[in-house]
Structure 1
Amino acid sequence: MSPFIRVAVAASLCSISIAAFSSSDLPLYPQVGNGVKPGMKGSYSYSDPELCSNGLVHGCHFSGNLIYLSNYSQHSGSSRWTHDQQIPNVKLFTRLDLVKGVQLHALVKYNRVPSPVMHQLDLAEAYLEKDFTDHRTNIILGKRWLPFGDYSSELYLSSLPKKLGHTDQTGLSMRFNQGGWSQEIYSFRQDTRYINAGSPLGYGANLEFKNSQIRTGIGYINALNEASLMQYNLGTSGFYHHPISSDVPAMAAYANFKLGQYYLNSSAVSAIESFDSQDLSFNGRGAKPGALSIEGGYHFSLFGNHAALIARSEMTQQMLSLRVPKDIYTLGLNYQLNHRVLLQLAVSRSYLYGVGDTASQPAISRSIMGTGGYADNALLAVTIKL
């Protein structure tokens, strides 16, 4: 029996008697936002006010996670399964409460496979946040994941909208909060170089409404080409080293709902304009990439511990240059083994771009051909809170 089938059978056996398990009075499993994975930030932390108290620091909070991944994959037309067993990745979060309402936030990652925009030991976030007027106004300065869209998920693997829109840059932002509304405007230093000009400041904005059951918003960024995967990817070489003609603006929208033990998350990211055909093309024309993800889940108690069943459907348009599938369908099961260990089992099928599809970066003679068919994937993720 193939590993994919064994994993699917195991997941189905665990869900046979869901109706027999209690689903009342369970806290909702922490959702995942920008840059964070399930069971991580906010779910466990260490704080020692006495140790951290001095003239500058009033308190400190630390949390960390070690993530182990074991992945099986198989492509259509092949009976061979390949196994990728990754050594653990590590993430460490720090928050220091400083004087006069200032906080220092930092996120350090150890990545098994580094890239030009994500080093093996990577300072992913390092920023100062100042709170004014009783949490109604915040100013944030430094490096962080920009507030462009929301990619909340309870699956370990990033959604396709997140792959398209996730942007980690250094900049300045101001957030205004009133009632359930939040508005944020920001500017940042761009990495992209241009054929006829230097790199200007990037900018964007996000508008959000949230309460205990709903979180929804819309965002704008002037340069989708600043997204991390746009800067460097395994398809075309990206925009990290090669200048382009001009920025491509984009929009993001999201709507997340909670009702008792159920939740539903949706997220979309799309370029507003097409890339110049010499910068990035799809099927001979300037590419206009976009992605949509819809995820739903149910929380319940399994053998006295917290569990969740998850389903996600994703689709893309003109994203072949990023070497991502055209569509992905995923089923997952989360199980909280204890207060420190989270297990996740996920199986998915990805449908690839067709044989007639082509993406290219003509300025440097890089191109990718669609292959058609599909790929099956089975993932076991173990997250240990340090």
Structure 2
Amino acid sequence: MKPSALATAIALTLTAHAIQASDAEAAPAWYQNLEMTGLIEVETSYIAPENDPSTSDLVLATAELGIRSKVHAWVEAGITFLYEQDVTDLEVDTAFVTLANAAVSPLFLTAGQLYVPFGVYDSNLVSDPLTLELGETRETALQLGFEQQGFAGSVYVFNGDHNVDGRDRVASWGATLGFAHEQADRAWSASVGYLNDLGESDTLQETIAANRVSANAFDPTVSSDPSERTGGWTAQAGARFGGLTLIGEYLTAAEDFDPTSLAFGTQGARPAAWNLEAGYRFSLFGRESGIAVAYQGTREALALELPEERWALGWSITLFEGTALGLEWAHDRDYATRDGGSGQSANTVTAQLAVEF
């Protein structure tokens, strides 16, 4: 007896559902491998310059949403969206794919838009350290690294925005090597890094491009692209003893920049930045709290609008799980008038409410 069209359709439908059910049992649903994280920071600040009127503001300093997925035992992918009021429009901050399996090999390969491992930038304060302002670098890069018995290192390559001598190619690279050790009541770490073109850092990239465009407007023979790369070095060390944390980091250009790209006075600048910080964690009213003090500074970074010297003092307390309140006072001193600065100082008080989930 020949089956009817309706019976055939019902049979096919039941078979399809059976296959789907079998697949669902064989592998977990895609959403079971997803991990979502978020960060919201609201800040209010009061700035009192030495000889100018004071100002104040209230901003959504950070709105960040991250999604990661363990696609396979060897494959992890992630994407982060970021918005910073008055600083960064909503954008894809990072998006990457990592091939790694620590149970089989210490090696890993990461490709995508990421912050290359040049500098560590640890801090217990509300504001970012001056080392980050100088050296943080986000690029679409290919990174090959390893992690083994406390040691970690990697090399990476990318095609920067600066076409040196007009050549558009993957010619920017860097490397980092570090060691970290942690016990129940103490930990320490140290690392060094090199980037063959410090001019590709987020801050320097914009400044150099603007400087060369301005120079080209007055002298058409000046190229809008640099004629050479200027490398940079960074070194970091940190330690924790109980509630006490110590941080030290130094970042510098390896040589002078072309004066057309970045100048200090009449010469090419060799910018540098450092951060020395001490923090202490303790319990206050049954809640985790901490204080931190830092001395930061820069050298030949006037063109980047960074202060020559900064003292900062901060306090934070965990209000609820994932929720913290932070307060910070910072005293900045500008470069001297003989160097082209104002020689003035400014005090900034910042309060931050942060929620991480």
- The match for 1:21 is none
The 8 Å contact of residues 209 and 225 in structure 2, kept in 1 or not, is answered as: no
- The TM-score normalised by the length of structure 1 is 0.78
1:325 aligns with 2:295: no
Give the TM-score of the pair, scaled to structure 2: 0.84
Could you tell me how far 1:94 is from its partner in structure 2?
1.4
After TM superposition, list the pairs within 5 Å mapping 1:212-231 onto structure 2: 212=182, 213-231=187-205
Is the contact between residue 58 and residue 98 of structure 1 (CA under 8 Å) also seen in structure 2? no
Structure 1: gaps spanning 5 or more residues: 1-49, 359-369
Q: 2:177 is aligned with what amino acid? A: L
Q: Please say if 1:77 is aligned against 2:51.
A: yes
> Which of 338, 343, 353 pairs up with 2:320?
338
Q: Which amino acid aligns with 1:384?
A: V
Structure 2 residue aligned with 1:158: 128
Maintained 8 Å contact 1:57/1:97: no
More helix by share: 2
Q: Indicate conservation of the 8 Å contact 1:231/1:240, yes or no.
A: no
Q: 1:232 is paired with a residue of what secondary structure? A: helix
Q: Distance in 1 between matches of 2:55 and 2:29?
A: 55
Looking at structure 1, the residues matched to 322 and 356 of structure 2 have their Cα atoms a distance apart, in angstroms, of: 5
By how many angstroms is 1:89 displaced?
2.9
What do the CA deviations read for 1:26-85 (whole angstroms, capped 9, x no partner)?
A: xxxxxxxxxxxxxxxxxxxxxxxx9xx74767611111111111010111134x421011
1:131 is matched with: 100
Matched residue type, 1:112: Q
Of all paired residues, the percent bearing the same amino acid is 24
Aligned pairs for 1:217-366 (under 5 A) are 217-233=191-207, 237=210, 242-358=224-340
Using the TM superposition, give the Cα deviation of residue 195 of structure 1 relative to its aligned residue in structure 2, in angstroms: 4.0
**Alpha-carbon shift at residue 111 of structure 1 (Å):** 2.0
By how many angstroms is 1:176 displaced? Answer: 1.4
TM-superposed deviation, 1:93: 1.6
**Residues 238, 128 of structure 1: CA spacing in aligned structure 2 closer, same or farther, 3 A cutoff?**
farther
Q: Is the 8 A contact 2:327 2:352 kept in 1?
A: yes
> Would you identify which runs of 4 or more consecutive aligned residues in structure 1 move more than 6 Å?
none
C-alpha separation in 2, matches of 1:311 and 1:301:
18
The runs of 5 or more residues in structure 2 that have no matched partner are: 1-23, 215-223
The size of the alignment, in residue pairs, is: 318
Contact 1:189 1:200 in 2 (8 A): yes
Q: Paired residue for 1:86? A: 59
Q: Which has the higher contact order (CA 8 A, sep 6+)?
A: 1
- Please report how far the alpha carbon of residue 238 of structure 1 lies from its aligned counterpart in structure 2 after TM superposition: 5.8
Residues 1:336 and 1:159: Cα distance change in structure 2 (over 3 Å) = same
Give CA deviations for 1:149-175 in whole Å, capped at 9, x if unaligned: 211112121111111110000111111
Q: Report the structure number with the largest CA radius of gyration.
A: 2
1:96 is paired with a residue of what secondary structure? strand
Asked if the contact 2:326/2:353 (under 8 Å) is kept, the reply is: yes
Say whether the 8 Å CA contact 1:58–1:97 is kept in structure 2: no
CA distance in 2, matches of 1:228, 1:176: 26
SS in 1 for 2:337: coil
Which stretch of the first structure deviates more once superposed, 252-261 or 152-161? 152-161
- How far has the Cα of 1:327 moved from its partner? 0.4
Q: Residue 107 of structure 1 is aligned with which of 71, 74, 80?
A: 80
What is the rounded CA distance, in whole Å, between the counterparts of 1:263 and 1:176 in structure 2?
Answer: 26
User: Which secondary structure does the structure 1 equivalent of 2:230 belong to?
Assistant: coil
